[in-house]
Amino acid sequence: MRIDIITCLPSLLVSPFAHSILKRAQDKKIVEVIVHDLRDYATDKHKKIDDYAFGGEAGMVLMIEPIALLINQLKKERIYDEIIYMTPDGVQMNQNIVNQLSLLKNIIILCGHYKGVDQRVRDIFITKEISIGDYVLSGGELAAAVLTDAIIRLIPNVLSDETSALTDTFQDDLLAPPVYTRPANFEGYQVPDVLLSGDHNKISEWRENISMQRTKEKRPDLWEKIIKE
């Protein structure tokens, strides 16, 4: 899989992809993450990529020309399954969306900044708009890192134990059950006996029941969705 990220602040994306699972996935050539500096595609000598909004609204807007140049160049080199814009008014990211994106081959993620991007960018190029929550960040870089992390960990051979991702919270709309490790008894706080029993059927039943209980208590919105389905 290849993920191209377009940003005016590429330095913000250095650390997220230089460590742990994301780094190993790139080292193993399972995924390729390319960060593009939008200023490299500015059309004037001052590397200007933003301008004032028409109509007098406060805040600067990313211009269409450098974005169009970069996206068109990338599209000449390969076919992209999705061109994603990270924006607070996009569809809210969830595990189902991430699962679908993890099956694709090539995607572009555009990071907004300042007041956002010229609407014509969204009209002409963007195929999917995604939000990571109902709040506003200084730019789309952190949101793009969140989305990229969520996608990459689902790709086969990225995780050492591929079944781990399948039991994550939200994979079946339920919150994941609690997990424990050694010691079995810490200052009187004990691991549930069923997890030490070796009875895999009972353990599976316990995990399912506790997942439903936790979802009902902590995320009644998800629980209502499950009941309706």
Of 98-102, 176-180, 202-206, the least confident:
176-180
Dist. CA 119–CA 117, nearest whole Å: 6
Give percent above pLDDT 70 in the chain: 95
Residues with Cβ < 8 Å from 88, sequence gap 6 or more? 131, 133, 134, 135, 136
pLDDT of residue 121: 98
Instruction: Name residue 35's beta-bridge partners.
Output: 5
Note the pLDDT tens digit of each residue in 134-153.
999 999 999 999 999 999 99
Give the pLDDT mean for 114-125. 96
Encoded tokens for 70: 């970069």
Q: Please tell me the class of the 167-228 domain.
A: mainly alpha
- In contact, 95 and 175? CB cutoff 8 Å: no
Class (C level, CATH) for 2-152: alpha beta
Average model confidence (pLDDT) across the chain: 94
- Please report the pLDDT score of residue 162 as a whole number: 58
| Residue spans per domain, the chain | 2-152, 167-228
One-letter identity of residue 155: I
- Report whether pLDDT(60) > 90: yes
pLDDT at 79 over 70: yes
Q: Looking at residues 154-181, what average pLDDT do you find?
A: 79
Query: Is residue 165 predicted with pLDDT exceeding 80?
Result: no
Cis peptide upstream of residue 183 (ω within 30 degrees of 0): yes
Specify the pairing of strand 185-186 against strand 189-190. antiparallel
pLDDT value of residue 157: 93
Query: Which amino acid is residue 4, in one-letter code?
Result: D
Residue 23 has pLDDT above 70, yes or no: yes
According to DSSP, the residues that pair with 107 across neighbouring strands are 3, 82
Mean pLDDT, residues 3-32: 96
Q: Which pLDDT score is estimated for 227?
A: 87
| Residue 61 neighbours by CB distance under 10 Å | 21
pLDDT band at 163 (very low <50, low <70, confident <90, very high): low
Q: How far is CA 13 from CA 84, 144, 157, in A?
A: 17, 9, 23
Q: What pLDDT shows up at residue 56?
A: 86
> Is 80 exceeded by the pLDDT of residue 202?
yes
Length of the chain: 229
Which pLDDT value is given to residue 154?
Answer: 95
